[in-house]
Structure 1
């Protein structure tokens, strides 16, 4: 049986759960081969204080059945990285499924792969998708043809289960969910802006502004770069 190649872009300051959550699910596809890809095989620092180890480089891994782009504050650097964007476009154009989690959808957008598509992202970044010709959708998982996008961070697990159901059927995906005992009961009901209230939303925006004070300017610049190609 030919391997199902599941390829994740891993980049400095990536949100590791955007990647490791769906990787745990998608690695259970039949005969799956999972690769983490960056410019070298050196450890890549995540936003959680530990590193992930790439399994291949941009030059070595040139094909994927499922391409998944995670997010994180490092996404703004990737959106201005010509080599990384060229790789995303090249591999994505030939992939059976082109996918993302969280702000990874903005990288897909910056690579020119979401124009005319419905897509989602982390709620605090979702409206930026309009800059790349995409239609922002306030849903946890969005399918539009072969583009599949997940919302913020933890939505990566839901996205991966939904994609697995599309590929192998719902019973197969349900079995993976059971095997992972994915039965979330969060201690607080504050996972969306509408549930959290204005004060918590303000705190999260303030943290984002501290972590990436120039994020809006750089996202808009990436959209201008795309329009100028």
Structure 2
């Protein structure tokens, strides 16, 4: 049995962890444990996730997968949460993240000298933690595997399954879930989206992220 631990927190992006969870749980001998500090329910975009494991009581895992979200900076500033991520990463064969979850890995000191992906709006913040940002759906550097923004969690999960159980297993999961993306618009990449759409989203993200950059850069100095 391979154990994958997904540590969650308030204002996590739910698709960052529910997509990998859906894909990974299709493999019978992969156990996925979603955990929070104190096993407390977490809130994500109006949804409440409960019946979680207690992150502090998990001794080890084979894979740790940290999701992102607007709450990731609060999670970084939560010493108890960050210590748990760092501790479990020390037991894991694979240290992984989805979206801005790579910020949390970076803050835990797990991305120094590593290439890593993130959501495009957060990508340029990775150097604050000594990481080299790389724009891609999935980036692997040694035992560190990071997924890009939100929906890249599906690509990430298939990559991880392939690594753990082989390409045939990954392709069987892909077919079973009919994962054959064909988006109706070519607006899923900041480089290809229409200019007015890009600026609208940048404006929205800037308002949502608030003082994120200042907080990341401040924490990054501590990590360095």
The TM-score, its normalising length taken from structure 2, stands at: 0.96
Q: How far 1:55 moved relative to its partner?
A: 2.4
For structure 2, list consecutive stretches of 5 or more residues without a partner in the other structure.
Answer: none
**Structure 1 residue corresponding to 2:135, chosen from 134, 138, 141:** 138
Structure 1, residues 189-223: CA drift from partner, whole Å, max 9, x if none? 10001110332222112112222211111111121
Cα distance change on mapping 1:98 and 1:54 into 2, 3 Å: farther
Contact 1:35 1:54 in 2 (8 A): no
Query: Equivalent residue for 1:55?
Result: 52
Work out the CA distance in 1 between the residues paired with 2:59 and 2:209: 31
Question: What RMSD in Å do the two structures reach over aligned CA positions?
Answer: 1.1
Query: Equivalent residue for 1:173?
Result: 170
**Count of residues in Structure 1 that have an aligned counterpart in Structure 2:** 224
Deviation >6 Å, runs of 4+: none
**Structure 1 residue corresponding to 2:204, chosen from 204, 207, 213:** 207
Contact 1:70 1:104 in 2 (8 A): yes
Query: Equivalent residue for 1:194?
Result: 191
Q: How far 1:33 moved relative to its partner?
A: 1.5
Alignment of 1:64-83 (within 5 A): 64-83=61-80
Structure 1, residues 106-141: CA drift from partner, whole Å, max 9, x if none? 000000000011100001101111111111001110
Work out the CA distance in 2 between the residues paired with 1:217 and 1:196: 27
Work out the CA distance in 2 between the residues paired with 1:86 and 1:107: 11
For structure 1, list consecutive stretches of 5 or more residues without a partner in the other structure.
Answer: none
**Structure 2 residue corresponding to 1:35, chosen from 10, 17, 33:** 33
Cα distance change on mapping 1:69 and 1:118 into 2, 3 Å: same
Q: How far 1:92 moved relative to its partner?
A: 0.5
